[in-house]
Structure 1
């Protein structure tokens, strides 16, 4: 075993993990790939550029650069602090800022601005809708009769209950005046082209940011069933709205959505493939386990740790000198007081506990948007001596996992990966290096 690990030490392993992660983020950079998906600028009619999500500012800049002579109006919504470091002095597409993952009044006001910007257009006009992960919270606009305070409470419950993203967004769409195809309906009869960066398993456009320009196949009845299934404690006003079911979301075949088109410019699988290519350049054999690994974060980490142990011990499904790559959005069910945690670090701590100090195995779990949960880190790195170093500091790794304090533990170890906002988002990636 030692001979097969020759040449690998902690510094080299950490550098390799960071290099692979950065390759995945670059593959999802809108400045690199968005222009190729743009149509020819319309010869007649207006161009209205609107959008929501963690990549919105960069996506808007990519449009500006590709169409320097085309008159553009509109606005995009992104997270506070996620604008470009050096924005152009005369931004043609204004950027509004809102809160994520808990909505705020700025996001609601900006969402209303977007709806106003796309109303009253003609058939010769073009709406470019730029969408990426995080858009659901950023554009939370209550349906008639609901308050923003009620939707903030709904969002907190969605984050607590451990429901998968498609279930969360089904409920959001049926409490919203913005998502679930309503932006495209408001823009009718204009042509609507959606350019999307996917952060969801399966790249379902109806789930990305709750699909503001996409027909919604889900129903009020499904939203009520999901609330019951996950035992959600929703505000009374929200439950009354779901039960009344007065105005369904636009469904497939709705004539108001006939002039819509969607192009996917970046996906989790694209990022994983870019990471695999970078692994080969490092002389490592990549194995992509999938882009849609979901479930409770600690359980996903335990499974990945078991696969890594099999690889290190038995050479199956890969041998040493390999990396396991995966993506997808895990969930964290908060069932009591919580420390400083996040999906990525909770997955990673579950993985480290499963490995139990196995030699020659390092791992990185990070969110490609640069923010894991509500922390200031993208994620963290686990090493063969993570558990030993934590215990030497008086930290109990199992207690940290039980108390959702994984980020706090990795912070104490100095093993957080801090990138700042990357201005893109193809969800979580996990890299396990078997050296």
Structure 2
């Protein structure tokens, strides 16, 4: 077995494991970069205009990649999160707020609808869409204001609703989501280039599906609103009740010329991480790219699996890494900094209670976990012991939804900055070989860092 060398000598076992976990996270992000994926899906040059529109945390990078590889004329408008803008020469990039929408997003959404108005069958609309687009295109239905959208969006985020449930409500309270943007492009051809950040890659859930048919109904949205006790403006609720807020469905003739490609997915990212692990002689097992549920509950389940591997060598043999993705939820009860990935980690750490040989990284591939400019964090066997030295109570932090502060105090946050992509949550659980501790140099082989 070899351990990577540094100028100061051999890496510690912990440093080597951290490098493995971070390397897998980096590999997952790298495979989903727009500059890598967009050139594989360029369409033929049409007879008419080419208009690029889109929204999401990766949309500006997607627009730049398309522009850099497009041989003809084009124009367009794309909206992305503050701090995620990348300048283009022919496509206007607007920055707006996420996850709670703002006026910039509202104005950009209205302008986008105007831009695609009056197109012809010879024209081509290229839609570059990624996760985050729901908040970035806040164009409400009649009877609702931006303030209403902000309040409802925050209530959904705090409710514990799944991403599919939240997006169902968003689609039916929107004048642009749920296929309405594609319908506005008719009769032009529409080419969707999508980066998926949702479980099972549901097209209608990526940015709430502005350019694809919506399989859900007003009744579905109403049931979700009632389940989580979300208060709607009376007129908006009435539109759900009588069906006037219904979205375009499959078979709608306005969507007949829509073509969709998933250019990057969570599964693709997990496979890239598994390949990185294999290069470093560690067996990797992908559980699922679509795990949902309360973050703290998922943390307990993953702790049980990791403990079974560490103590019983089942269902996998150590050393190994267990990979998963998806999008958990957090029901906000406290006033902490939140973050579903760090809440998952803290819950898992409490359940593991210092279990030797189990090391975990969890993070959001867009670089932002919750409302913090932090991707996620690392969990180690000594995390709880070190927390006690800092007078940090894991349980108190968990109950206050304040896992970000917990891991920041330990220096264990994972900070990437804007990654310019978004293929959902990433979780890597490394279980070291039997008999190894953090102080040994056994059980893992690492190449030198670049």
Q: Distance in 1 between matches of 2:232 and 2:387?
A: 38
Superposed, which structure 2 residues align to 1:88-237 within 5 Å?
91-237=89-235
Q: Deviations over 1:171-224 (max 9, x none)?
A: 111110110000111010000010000000010101100100101111111111
Q: Distance in 1 between matches of 2:358 and 2:192?
A: 41
**Could you tell me which of 373, 382, 386 is aligned with 1:376?**
373
Q: Deviations over 1:395-431 (max 9, x none)?
A: 1101111110100000000000001110100010000
**Could you tell me which of 11, 14, 18 is aligned with 1:10?**
14
The alpha-carbon deviation at position 241 of structure 1 amounts to 3.6
SS at match of 1:374: coil
The alpha-carbon deviation at position 92 of structure 1 amounts to 1.1
Classify 1:334/1:237 alpha carbon distance in 2 versus 1 (closer, same or farther; 3 Å). farther
The alpha-carbon deviation at position 79 of structure 1 amounts to 0.2
SS at match of 2:226: helix
CA contact (8 A) 2:339 2:404 kept: yes
Q: TM-score, normalised by structure 1?
A: 0.95
Corresponding residue for residue 37 of structure 1:
41
Q: Distance in 2 between matches of 1:415 and 1:248?
A: 46
Corresponding residue for residue 58 of structure 1:
61
SS at match of 2:131: coil
Q: Distance in 1 between matches of 2:314 and 2:384?
A: 25
CA contact (8 A) 2:143 2:236 kept: no
Q: Distance in 2 between matches of 1:46 and 1:211?
A: 23
Corresponding residue for residue 81 of structure 1:
83
CA contact (8 A) 1:341 1:407 kept: yes
SS at match of 1:207: helix
Return 226-235 or 385-394, whichever deviates more.
226-235
Q: Distance in 1 between matches of 2:225 and 2:63?
A: 35
CA contact (8 A) 2:203 2:209 kept: yes
Corresponding residue for residue 355 of structure 2:
358
Corresponding residue for residue 333 of structure 1:
331
Q: Distance in 1 between matches of 2:206 and 2:183?
A: 17
Instruction: Determine if the alignment matches structure 1 residue 349 to structure 2 residue 346.
Output: yes
The alpha-carbon deviation at position 236 of structure 1 amounts to 4.3
The alpha-carbon deviation at position 351 of structure 1 amounts to 1.1
CA contact (8 A) 2:143 2:233 kept: no
Corresponding residue for residue 265 of structure 1:
263
Q: TM-score, normalised by structure 2?
A: 0.92
Q: Distance in 2 between matches of 1:172 and 1:51?
A: 17
Superposed, which structure 2 residues align to 1:282-301 within 5 Å?
282-301=280-299
Instruction: Determine if the alignment matches structure 1 residue 430 to structure 2 residue 434.
Output: no
Q: Distance in 2 between matches of 1:309 and 1:212?
A: 43
CA contact (8 A) 2:173 2:245 kept: no
Q: CA RMSD in A?
A: 1.3
SS at match of 2:290: coil
The alpha-carbon deviation at position 234 of structure 1 amounts to 3.8
Return 380-389 or 224-233, whichever deviates more.
224-233
Q: Distance in 2 between matches of 1:210 and 1:312?
A: 40
CA contact (8 A) 1:154 1:235 kept: no
CA contact (8 A) 1:348 1:382 kept: yes
The number of residue pairs the alignment matches comes to 423
The alpha-carbon deviation at position 153 of structure 1 amounts to 0.7
The alpha-carbon deviation at position 355 of structure 1 amounts to 1.2
The alpha-carbon deviation at position 8 of structure 1 amounts to 6.6
Q: Deviations over 1:302-331 (max 9, x none)?
A: 111110110011111112110000000000
Corresponding residue for residue 3 of structure 2:
none
List alignment gaps of at least 5 residues for structure 1: 1-6
The alpha-carbon deviation at position 244 of structure 1 amounts to 4.0
Q: Deviations over 1:32-87 (max 9, x none)?
A: 11111121222x100000000000111001101111x3111111000000023xx4
SS at match of 2:203: coil
Q: Which runs of 4+ in 1 moved over 3 A?
A: 233-238
Q: Distance in 2 between matches of 1:10 and 1:247?
A: 55
The alpha-carbon deviation at position 251 of structure 1 amounts to 0.8
The alpha-carbon deviation at position 237 of structure 1 amounts to 4.8
